[in-house]
């Protein structure tokens, strides 16, 4: 019936099971644990805007133990980039994955680091990256705790100003930088906030880069399909 299946859902084990039994290519369009196709778009965007990947410092602000934090750590480790997660300790990726990434770094020359101080982490960054504080499928009850824990890691102009002069800001979207999304509006009103993981000022300043990143999702997924369809 199908020439290929893209799974975008929850547990990583589900996409792996699907890939094991499907006799067609199965693409991971996002799980709770990983978001590999987003990585291709992100790398392409960094290369387009900064000209290179190797040696670049990427700082991820927020819940680094979820799909985006995990996948960015894996990707930077494989590409010889310097990955820093800026978050409270309990939001750092799991030890097993950190160990695997340290092995990738030995080959690529990349590094991985973890820092609870957002400003110290952002120093001299080439890329500042963030994602929503509550992901798809997580219960609404976690919002309050996430807002409390992750507000110090909101990407503001003060954060961008300690990064390199030509640093870029990336976001996998959707972004809650104003109240114009359904969830942004609902949670913003509930908690008395007009912006969450990134300020509207930062988002608008770097929106050309963020929308290039979104456009690159289309080009890179087409490349993946072309490379894997028989």
- Shortest distance, CB of residue 36 to ligand NVA, whole angstroms? 12
38 belongs to the catalytic site: yes
Q: Point out which residues pair with 85 in neighbouring strands.
A: 60, 114
- Shortest distance, CB of residue 136 to ligand NVA, whole angstroms? 4
CB 84 within 8 A of CB 114: yes
- Shortest distance, CB of residue 181 to ligand NVA, whole angstroms? 12
Choosing from 3, 8, 124, 219, the catalytic residue is 8
105 belongs to the catalytic site: no
* Residue 130, CA distances (Å) to 18, 68, 87, 195, 198 in order: 30, 9, 11, 13, 8
Q: Which is nearer to ligand NVA, 135 or 194 (CB)?
A: 135
141 DSSP 8-state letter: G
- Shortest distance, CB of residue 106 to ligand NVA, whole angstroms? 28
8 belongs to the catalytic site: yes
- Shortest distance, CB of residue 132 to ligand NVA, whole angstroms? 5
Q: Which is nearer to ligand NVA, 105 or 213 (CB)?
A: 213
Q: Which is nearer to ligand NVA, 67 or 216 (CB)?
A: 67
By CB under 6 A, name the binding residues for ligand NVA: 30, 66-68, 131-132, 135-136, 172
Q: Which is nearer to ligand NVA, 127 or 172 (CB)?
A: 172
Sign of the CA dihedral running 67, 52, 210, 156: positive
Q: Which is nearer to ligand NVA, 121 or 132 (CB)?
A: 132
Q: In a 3-state reduction of DSSP, which class is residue 125?
A: coil
47 belongs to the catalytic site: no
Choosing from 38, 63, 146, 177, the catalytic residue is 38
Encoded tokens for 122: 């952002």
Q: In a 3-state reduction of DSSP, which class is residue 165?
A: coil
Choosing from 82, 105, 131, 177, the catalytic residue is 131
Choosing from 49, 82, 146, 217, the catalytic residue is 217
Burial profile 114-152: b = 16 or more Cβ within 10 angstroms, e = fewer: bbeebeebbeebbbbbbbbbbbeeeeeeebeebbebbee
**75: CB partners within 8 A, 6+ apart:** 39, 42, 43, 81
Active site residues: 8, 35, 38, 131, 172, 217
């Amino acid at each position: 019936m199908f020439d290929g299946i893209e799974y975008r859902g929850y547990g990583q084990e589900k996409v792996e099971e699907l890939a094991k039994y499907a006799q067609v290519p199965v693409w991971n369009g996002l799980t709770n644990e990983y978001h590999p196709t987003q990585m291709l778009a992100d790398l392409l965007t960094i290369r387009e805007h900064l000209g290179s990947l190797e040696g670049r410092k990427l700082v991820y602000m927020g819940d680094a133990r979820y799909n985006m934090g995990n996948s960015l750590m894996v990707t930077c480790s494989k590409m010889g980039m310097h990955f820093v997660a800026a978050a409270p300790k309990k939001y750092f990726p799991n030890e097993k994955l950190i160990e695997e990434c340290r092995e990738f770094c030995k080959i690529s020359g990349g590094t991985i680091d973890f820092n609870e101080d957002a400003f110290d982490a952002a120093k001299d960054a080439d890329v500042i990256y963030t994602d929503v504080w509550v992901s798809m499928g997580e219960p609404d009850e976690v919002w309050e705790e996430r807002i409390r824990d992750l507000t110090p890691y909101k990407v503001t102009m003060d954060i961008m100003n300690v990064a390199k002069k030509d640093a870029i800001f990336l976001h996998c979207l959707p972004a809650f930088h104003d109240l114009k999304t359904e969830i942004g509006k609902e949670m913003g009103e509930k908690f008395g906030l007009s912006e969450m993981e990134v300020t509207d000022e930062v988002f608008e300043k770097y929106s050309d880069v963020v929308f290039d990143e979104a456009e690159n999702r289309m080009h890179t997924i087409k490349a993946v399909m072309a490379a894997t369809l028989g």
